[in-house]
Amino acid sequence: MRNDTGKVWLVGAGPSDPGLFTLKGKTVLEQADVVVYDALVGTGVLHMIPDTAEAIDVGKRSSHHTMPQEKINELLVQKAREGKRVVRLKGGDPFLFGRGGEELELLVKERIPYEIVPGIPSAISVPAYQGIPVTHRDFCSSVHIITGHKRAGMPYDIDFEALVRTKGTLVFLMGAAALGDICRGLLAGGIRPDCPAAFLMRGTTAGQERITATVETLEEAVQKHGVKTPAIIVVGEVCALADTFAWYEKLPLGGVRVLLTRPKELISGTAAKLRELGADVLELPAIRTVKTDRNERLYQAFEKLEQYQWLVFTSPAGVRIFFEEMEQKQMDVRRFGQIRIAVIGSGTKKELEKHGLYADLIPEVFDGEHLGKALADAAEVGDQILIPRAAVGNPELTDALCRALKQLEIDDIPTYDTEYETDGMTDVKAELQSGGVDYVVFTSASTVRGFAAAADGSDFAAVKAVCIGKQTKAAADAYGMQTWMAKQATIDSLLECLVKVHQEQ
């Protein structure tokens, strides 16, 4: 517990697409001690919650509240009084039907410091992702956002006639259950029966759907299709532009939900590339790297670093941890002397270059066997080779070196372990069972095993697995998954493979 006064930030998370989360919101969230979040916050944003923060799900939906609003208000005060940095994370914008004002009332009364971080509202972003501009000079000059929620058994406290007279675009939030009442109210208020209208479901996600009709026919069209929430209702001439302006589903992976398994420290870059292609990314950091404590073997290797002719890295994590240990021991990179460096692939090469060093050798095919063969050809008789890597390293590398018959001296030193983990934000089994995942992307055999552990008991035969290399593919094959393999063991090649597979499917 801190002694200083805590503070509360009311942060709008925007719609489900994490790319629409504001930079300020992300900065505040990354510094949080406590995060109190709603059910409508997208999983991509939830994955930005720091591991060190206490995450509290208050799960507010229209028909079910995990925690009453009054209790949420009290919780914010309680955590702030403990000296914590408290983030109240809300879908959309906290002041647009987000009850942010109610939460502020108690904070003001209790003299708790606070800030507001606005979010992009679904009333604007969801239509935009469906090709509907809420204003257009040729059609309207105003937009009106109305709550579609009403108390059970009570009439709407909405002046539908006044709304119709504005001749503007009308956006109803939280109105899925009252669609019929809304349409009838508008018709009674004098709107044209053939006025274009749209029912937009699960906006800014791969599962987004659009039903376009007229005010008179929208309820029937939605009943035939079926309702999926969250959903918003848009009424106005601009709805007629949806088919012309639609863009999201035209992206290479538009409408595709991808489960990405990578170590947490590496997942964001790949997720960003997937989202650029239009994918809705469900992040599952299925493994994490744990540095070996008091690694005496590595420290002994440091003492004789000048004696090695080759230093070999087989992963970005191996590079990162090696240099962390060097920094801890206050070792200067000039100790490398004439040592040559070999790396397994482009990702490891990029990580090495962060330290101002460039690889002398990289195999044409990015795997342990081809690295071993290339290194065996390049090495001289009696060369000493240092390989700092995972505790369970691929034996194909050292096997290829041993077959070289050059009397090579190999120090194969474990510098980290790979552990399976989940962050508790994703119920993998439920996602698979509901058909909520189109493809799973694997970047190593370890991520396959981590995924299998998180989804234990699932039907893996239904999993479409896109794999970075043959060892990864073999691991997925062992679980009976449907598998495809990238031409090269690179992230870009992996994504090209995914796009091709999806187009063929």
| Catalytic site positions | 38, 60, 174
Secondary structure (3-state) at 33 = coil
Tell me the Ramachandran region of residue 211: left when phi exceeds 0, alpha when psi lies from -120 to 50, beta otherwise. beta
Cβ neighbours of residue 407 under 8 Å, at least 6 residues apart? 381, 382
Of 130, 129, 120, 134, residue with least CA distance to 15: 120
**CA pseudo-torsion sign 332, 337, 343, 349:** positive
Tokens 């390293």 sit on residue: 393
8-state DSSP, 267 = H
Q: Evaluate whether 114 touches 10 at the Cβ level (below 8 Å).
A: yes
Tokens 């406590």 sit on residue: 34
Helix axes 316-328, 346-353, angle to 10 degrees: 20
Cβ neighbours of residue 405 under 8 Å, at least 6 residues apart? none
8-state DSSP, 331 = -
Q: Evaluate whether 205 touches 221 at the Cβ level (below 8 Å).
A: no
The residue type of 102 is E
Residue 84, CA distances (Å) to 45, 112, 221, 418, 461 in order: 21, 11, 49, 32, 46
Residue 48, CA distances (Å) to 26, 27, 31, 41 in order: 7, 10, 10, 11
Of 211, 487, 205, residue with least CA distance to 365: 487
- Beginning with the edge strand found earlier in the chain, give each strand of the sheet holding 85-90 in spatial order: 54-57, 34-37, 85-90, 7-12, 114-117
Q: For the chain, percent helix, then strand, then coil, each to nearest 5?
A: 40, 20, 40
- Beginning with the edge strand found earlier in the chain, give each strand of the sheet holding 209-214 in spatial order: 143-147, 169-173, 231-235, 196-201, 209-214
Distance of alpha carbon 467 from alpha carbon 228, whole angstroms: 32
Q: Are strands 169-173 and 196-201 parallel, antiparallel or unpaired?
A: unpaired
Residue 316, CA distances (Å) to 30, 289, 354, 382, 440 in order: 24, 11, 11, 28, 22
